[in-house]
């Protein structure tokens, strides 16, 4: 769990970096998670009334992710909410 938190903190620090800069700081697995976060956040912004469960479904279908990764997406929903509330 500590490694996952460290990874999420690193991803958050480089969330808005372009691919070249992000690849300097993030592992390939972290970049994949970053891409999912960005896609989920973008989907949510474009469809602001979308419930959390639909965003997770969108991510599962778009990225063909497993149940374990699905749970990680659900953990990141709190991050989505915080970003959305800041707007």
Residue 13 to residues 17, 36, 52, Cα–Cα distance (Å): 9, 15, 23
Report the pLDDT value the prediction gives residue 15, as an integer from 0 to 100: 87
pLDDT in tens, 34-79: 888 888 888 888 998 988 888 878 888 888 876 565 555 555 556 5
**Which H/E stretch holds residue 6?**
helix 2-13
The answer to whether residues 15 and 37 touch, using CB atoms and an 8 Å cutoff, is: yes
Domain extents for the chain? 2-86
**Distance separating alpha carbons of residues 24 and 66, to the nearest angstrom:** 27
- CA dist 31 and 67 (Å) reads 19
Q: Is pTM beyond 0.85 here? A: no
């Amino acid at each position: 769990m500590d490694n996952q938190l460290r990874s999420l903190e690193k991803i958050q620090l480089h969330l808005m970096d372009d691919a070249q800069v992000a690849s300097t700081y993030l592992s390939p697995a972290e970049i994949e998670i970053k891409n999912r976060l960005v896609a989920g956040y973008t989907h949510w912004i474009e469809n602001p009334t979308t419930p959390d469960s639909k965003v997770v479904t969108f991510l599962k279908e778009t990225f063909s992710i497993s149940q374990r990764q699905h749970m990680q997406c659900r953990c990141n929903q709190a991050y989505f909410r915080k970003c959305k509330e800041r707007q």
